[in-house]
Structure 1
Amino acid sequence: MFFGKTKQTRQSDRIPPNQNVTTKFPVLHAGNVPYYEDMSKWNLQVYGLVDRPMLLSFEDIKAFPKAELKNDIHCVTGWSRLDNVWQGIRAKDIAEKAGVHEEAGFVILHAEEGWTANLPLSDFTRETSLLAYAHNGEPLTPEHGYPLRGVFPHLYFWKSAKWLRGIQFTKENHPGFWEKNGYHMRGDPWKNQRFTWD
């Protein structure tokens, strides 16, 4: 099989409904893969309903307290990959540094080529939510989101946007790229929330 399935019981408390475990790390995305030869041209804009908008360099990102988290990830296409170790910064640290307004309830992640993903602020600021620059001790490859990607393991992996360039805090929930194309607005794998009608 393409995804390199391993034996896994459906009763496992680590595997959501209709998922199969893989030891590989499939690459799925829309658009082109960006390659950064000069990191001085990369930045991350943090804006919207915040007290302190920020334009962060990669060095600024690395200056935040480093976090390392181990988790399982679940793709809406049906594969799950267990025991991933990510290094990066906690998403909640960005929110705290920016001073998110009380009326903000959602986050829009902006990536290269106009790609977006939406999620509730409560999902963004979970202890398990990360902005990652390394996976299993190695810098992210371009195909997996270098230099920075979101990692929100409690949601389907399309919410973990690659090639981040902006984090926008909003009052209203605005559908992202895949949500506009029929994917679920939240994407909880344990509730099998794959599409708008789920």
Structure 2
Amino acid sequence: MVLPPGQRAIDGFPRFGTHLHHPPPQVPADPVIEVGGAVSEPFVLTTGDLAELPRVELKADFHCVAGWSATGLRWEGIPFATFYRMRVEPLLAPTVSITHVVFEGLDGYQSIALIEDALAENVLIADRLDGEPLTSDHGAPVRLVSPSQYGFVNTKHLCRIDFHTSAPPDPDRFSPLAAHARARVWNEERHRYLPGRVVRPIYHRLIGPIRALSARGSRESTE
């Protein structure tokens, strides 16, 4: 098995994410994804709407920026490019050129992706993992899956997608752990300002403590 530079394969697929020791958000009874930004008519995407779009199954690894990789995962869902071509492009004015996409989760987390990265053929709006519906720990009801980018782009509990014609404000730009804007795993784009090989040892030391905190907040461990 060949992994991206600086990554280590682990057993299983641990819960990582924001809020760490807090439980993941409750799944709404009728979940929707709000779509807005540069579209001429904002709209709401229901689970029924998603079911009408073509589905695919994708076998792909998940790479955390901290340095671990969960391998051989089987995701199912809607290709983001299919959703974009069928539901978003018809609502764009001829003069509008989308450059960035902001993904937001029910936990308040946001990730920003360039449109060319979001439209890669292996990017999904996923609702199933290894043959089962997503659990709360792994992003239920739906999540973004972008295997060629580090996990921090793969927003869980997806509830809103906004399309932009220029780079949106980035609240983490002054953070000491400022995430890379592209986050491509094979380029080891972990940090915005520092080379991947420089921050790699620091991030590796964080795996254990963060995994322990995340496990404390796992909904599966509290139900």
Q: One fold, TM greater than 0.5?
A: yes
- For residue 51 of structure 1, report the CA deviation from its aligned partner: 4.1
The match for 1:3 is: none
Q: Superposition RMSD on alpha carbons, in Å? A: 1.8
Larger relative CO (CA 8 A, sep 6+): 1 or 2? 2
- For residue 175 of structure 1, report the CA deviation from its aligned partner: 5.5
Q: Determine if contact 1:110/1:167 at 8 Å carries over to the other structure.
A: yes
CA distance in structure 1 between the partners assigned to 2:152 and 2:11 by the alignment: 19
The match for 2:45 is: 56
Q: Determine if contact 1:39/1:58 at 8 Å carries over to the other structure.
A: no
The letter for the 2-side match of 1:25 is F
The match for 1:134 is: 128
CA distance in structure 1 between the partners assigned to 2:163 and 2:131 by the alignment: 30
Q: TM-score, normalised by structure 1?
A: 0.85
- For residue 176 of structure 1, report the CA deviation from its aligned partner: 5.2
Q: Which runs of 5+ in 2 are unaligned?
A: 196-223
The match for 1:150 is: 144
CA displacement, residues 7-28 of structure 1 (integer Å, 9 cap, x when unaligned) = x6xxx3xx11111001210111
Residues 194/152 of structure 1: CA separation in 2 closer, same or farther (3 Å cut): same
Q: Determine if contact 2:25/2:107 at 8 Å carries over to the other structure.
A: no
Mapping for residues 1-198 of structure 1, pairs under 5 Å: 12=2, 15-31=3-19, 32=22, 33-36=24-27, 38-40=28-30, 42-96=31-85, 97-99=87-89, 100=92, 102-174=96-168, 181=175, 182-197=178-193, 198=195
Q: Secondary structure at the match of 2:113?
A: strand
- For residue 88 of structure 1, report the CA deviation from its aligned partner: 0.7
The runs of at least 4 aligned residues of structure 1 exceeding 4 Å deviation read: 175-180
CA displacement, residues 50-73 of structure 1 (integer Å, 9 cap, x when unaligned) = 244320112222221111111122
Q: Tell me which structure has the larger Cα radius of gyration.
A: 2
CA distance in structure 2 between the partners assigned to 1:116 and 1:134 by the alignment: 21
- For residue 186 of structure 1, report the CA deviation from its aligned partner: 1.3
Question: Once the two structures are aligned, what percentage of the paired residues are identical?
Answer: 29
Q: Which runs of 5+ in 1 are unaligned?
A: 1-7
- For residue 173 of structure 1, report the CA deviation from its aligned partner: 2.1
Q: Determine if contact 2:107/2:157 at 8 Å carries over to the other structure.
A: no
Larger mean Cα displacement after TM superposition, 79-88 or 144-153 = 79-88
